[in-house]
Chains A and B, each alone.
Chain A
Amino acid sequence: MSVIFILILISMVVAGSFLGLFIWANKSGQFDDSVTPGMRILFDDKQKKQNKK
């Protein structure tokens, strides 16, 4: 049964690393703007548009 101690600690480390990832993502600005990227994806690149003509 004492394996549970180790398992719990490992699970903590795994969960903790996800928390770390979240903090990293947050600090690198992934959640700063949730509106503009949605518009941006609809724009064609200007170069492509010129090729079409």
Chain B
Amino acid sequence: MSEHLIAEQVVCHHCGDTCEQERIIYDDKNFCCPGCRAVYELFIDTGLQDIYADASRLKPEDHGKYDYLDNLEIANALHDFRSEDHNAITLTLPAIHCSSCVYLLENLRLFHDGIIRVSTNFVKQEVDIHYNPQTLSLKQLANLLHRIGYPPQFKSEQKKKQSNQLSIKIGVAAFCFGNIMLLSFPEYFGFNEQIDDSFQRFFAYLNIALALPVLFYSGIDYLRSAWKGLKHRFINIDVPIALGIITLFARSVYEITSQTGPGYLDSLAGLVFFLLIGKWFQSKTYENLSFERDYKSYFPLAAYRVEAGTTKAVPIAELEEGDNILIRNQEIIPADAVLKEGKASIDYSFVTGEEKPIKILHGETLFAGGRQVGESIRVQITKKSSQSYLTSLWNNQAFKTHDDLGTEAITNQISKYFTVTILLIATLSAIFWALYNPENIWQVITAVLIVACPCALALSAPFTNGNLLRIFGKNKFYLKNALSVEKLSRIDAIVFDKTGTLTESNSGEVQWIGELSEREKGYVRKLSENSMHPLSIKIKDSLPEDMSDYSLAHFKEIAGSGLQAIVDGHYVKLGSASYIDADLDGVPGSVYLSVDDEVKGRFKVKNQFRAGLADLIRDLPDYKLTVLSGDNDQERSELMKIFPSNTKMLFKQQPQDKLEYIKHLQAQGQTVMMLGDGLNDAGALKQSNVGIAVTEDVSTFSPACDGILEGGKLQRLGDFLGFGKVGKSIIYTSFTLSFLYNIVGLGFAVSGMLTPIFAAILMPLSSITIVAFTTLSGNYFARKKQLI
């Protein structure tokens, strides 16, 4: 089943089966059959060898991670169907990314007999799993999926099954539309005179009967939405459409009952049908370009409550104040709590953007949303999770940036006056036609009401920005929302943090200057192992691995200074020169070491600038650049080589200084982009107009910033900014296009040259044109900039 179990046997590199009858060696790898070899060749030729890395990276079982699934209440809420020997569950597996995934998942029953069947929805990244709970528990299932590389994502609220309402409405509208047209044939061909009056009346009343479901079932959403708007004294986009539908229906019923004419029921049905088709297309497109992030799925679902020595998984909503819960490595704290037991080291990147863990002392408060890094801890809840800090943090949108709303505001302005203007135009043209040629009046009114399409205007911005978000995301540059994309195009000042942003955090040379015995090296390693500071990690990595496990006591880390502890009976201190010995005149950029108060020497740490940095700076000639650094200015000369001469460089900056500097720039009217890695930048990131966290681990979610950029992609920043500007021009172009469409369309409608049916076809067509234009032009420019 997994490669671990059959490691002794020869395993086919392609399919993972044992090579029993045949063994083909090709490219130093074993294959069980020529077919597998051929597929392997094909994959290598097309550069798809990554598929093997994916398949073979069987993740170790994460012990206990899914234990809460044994809780009946939680399991009940997650399942679609439950019985004694057949359960069904729909799971979101974000890891699904290619047809091999579909293949693997749909053959899941080969991994475990308990699986009855699996069907995959590739687009939604969902699987529908039927399994036998007697042989396979939900927890085992989750572990199985986790192990083969598809960790399931459980949501607190299982998404409601998408209703097929819309397609049924379209079906009903199409049915009625077709039949009404059929019954209107005599009228179309001018047979009215030749056929019997009773037939005519029969057809007309049948048409009314057929129009009823169109009005009250298919078109009800328009009526309802318009009514809701009016009730709140607000004229929304659906008002003209609702008005048009009602006008057509009322007029037709009047004409038929008074026997003055055949009515316009065919127009009515066609209108609703085409409107719904347009709506369906839009929702399909939105489904494919869905960028909404489900914040809830970042929260854990259950916590482990400590009860009389044992632990029990309980849903978070059931946690009460005073409950003791267990938080293990990499788990998120579900509610504000006080530390009771264990060494807490909390990573608040989820809340603040700060990736470096904060150590919490006994009795101190831990806030919801932090993630424990290290050993398991026991905490006592002080506030119910529903009221907790983090929930309110999201609810009151504390991280929604303060400034303007961009084109969203323009769109809102337009829609506000749009409908009023349309109603005015409709009234005016009705008055004109009443005087000039009353026969045309109904056709003109409905055509005017229907043809005007604010949708095209409203769609320009979200679709362009959405597409940009997607393209950025493909380049490992993740922006929080569409608004951030717009703000990106207005940036004129860029502020870089030095450490971790311009320099690489996990490389750089460490050089020891002084004398050190092997034993002492072991002490230093032991000491630095206990710290999360980047310098400690670098020093630890530079020392040889030591198997002898020295005792460690009284460990202490003083932020900004250094570490100390009693290792193997010796008092070891590691840190800045002034921390080791107040009289020591230190060399900048060094970490000093003392053992039993005797200065042993120093580690010289040289930062390494990211590759491509010089190219990046050359790409940004139009921006005011600043480098902020918490370190001293020893690297100024090297930075001068890379940055242009007018770049401002500020050293020894405290977090507050960074924030103040951003404020200072903003006061000068600059739109500021801040790039920082986190340790001290959270405040500055939040203050800046666009705060980008540069990180090595993009899965870290940090609401304090507007975007997350993978460190290695920093050199593409110039392209990203340029592409953001292109996006802005695309939005303005499509604004112009849809304005032109509306003016021309209304012109034809007012002059009576447009039938309502044609208007109903034109309207969704204009939306589709805008969507196509924004998406295609976005992709075109992205390709030009080699972003896709």
Cβ–Cβ contact B21 & A53, under 8 A: yes
Task: Kindly identify which residue among A31, A35, A46 contacts B123, using a CB–CB cutoff of 8 Å.
Answer: A35
CA distance A32 to B99 in the complex (A): 18
Cβ–Cβ contact A19 & B172, under 8 A: yes
Contacts of A53 in B (CB 8 A): 17, 20-22, 32-33
CA distance A25 to B35 in the complex (A): 39
Cβ–Cβ contact A16 & B175, under 8 A: yes
Contacts of B607 in A (CB 8 A): none
CA distance A53 to B36 in the complex (A): 11
Contacts of A46 in B (CB 8 A): 107, 110
Cβ–Cβ contact B32 & A19, under 8 A: no
Shortest C-beta distance, B600 to chain A (Å), equals 62
CB of B517 closer than 8 Å to a CB of A = no
Interface size on B, residues (CB 8 A): 34
Contacts of A52 in B (CB 8 A): 33, 35
Task: Kindly identify which residue among A5, A15, A27, A33 contacts B179, using a CB–CB cutoff of 8 Å.
Answer: A15
Within 8 A of B (CB), among A1-53: 1, 4-5, 8, 12, 15-16, 18-19, 22-23, 26-27, 29, 31-33, 35-36, 39-40, 42-43, 46, 49-50, 52-53
Cβ–Cβ contact B21 & A1, under 8 A: no
Which B residue's beta carbon lies closest to that of A26? Answer: B164
CB of B119 closer than 8 Å to a CB of A = yes
CB of B698 closer than 8 Å to a CB of A = no
Within 8 A of A (CB), among B194-214: 196, 199, 202, 206
Contacts of B119 in A (CB 8 A): 36
Contacts of A43 in B (CB 8 A): 102-103, 106-107
Contacts of A23 in B (CB 8 A): 168, 171-172
Shortest C-beta distance, B397 to chain A (Å), equals 34
Contacts of A33 in B (CB 8 A): 121-124
CA distance A1 to B202 in the complex (A): 13
Mark interface residues in B133-171 (1 if CB within 8 Å of A CB, else 0). 000000000000000000000000000001010011001
CA distance A49 to B119 in the complex (A): 20
Cβ–Cβ contact B196 & A1, under 8 A: yes
Shortest C-beta distance, B171 to chain A (Å), equals 5
CB of B460 closer than 8 Å to a CB of A = no
Contacts of A36 in B (CB 8 A): 102, 119-123
Which B residue's beta carbon lies closest to that of A29? Answer: B164
Shortest C-beta distance, A53 to chain B (Å), equals 5
Contacts of A32 in B (CB 8 A): 121, 162, 164
CA distance A40 to B183 in the complex (A): 44
Contacts of B33 in A (CB 8 A): 52-53
CA distance A23 to B168 in the complex (A): 6
Task: Kindly identify which residue among B168, B183, B196, B199 contacts A26, using a CB–CB cutoff of 8 Å.
Answer: B168
Which A residue's beta carbon lies closest to that of B196? Answer: A1
CA distance A50 to B167 in the complex (A): 42
Cβ–Cβ contact A50 & B202, under 8 A: no
If A1-B196, A26-B168, A53-B22 touch, does A19 touch B17 (CB 8 Å cutoff)? no
If A1-B196, A5-B202 touch, does A27 touch B164 (CB 8 Å cutoff)? yes
Cβ–Cβ contact B175 & A19, under 8 A: yes
Shortest C-beta distance, A15 to chain B (Å), equals 6
Cβ–Cβ contact B102 & A12, under 8 A: no
CA distance A49 to B120 in the complex (A): 21
CA distance A4 to B201 in the complex (A): 13
If A12-B179, A16-B175 touch, does A31 touch B17 (CB 8 Å cutoff)? no
| Cβ contacts A to B, 13 pairs, < 8 Å | A12-B206, A15-B179, A19-B172, A22-B168, A22-B171, A33-B124, A36-B120, A36-B123, A39-B103, A40-B102, A40-B106, A46-B110, A52-B35
A-B pairs, 6 with minimum CB distance = A19-B175, A36-B122, A39-B99, A26-B164, A33-B121, A22-B171
Partner-B contacts on A (CB < 8 A): 1, 4-5, 8, 12, 15-16, 18-19, 22-23, 26-27, 29, 31-33, 35-36, 39-40, 42-43, 46, 49-50, 52-53
Other 13 A-B pairs with CB < 8 A, given A12-B179, A32-B121:
A15-B178, A18-B175, A19-B171, A19-B175, A26-B164, A27-B164, A33-B122, A35-B121, A36-B122, A40-B102, A40-B106, A46-B110, A53-B22
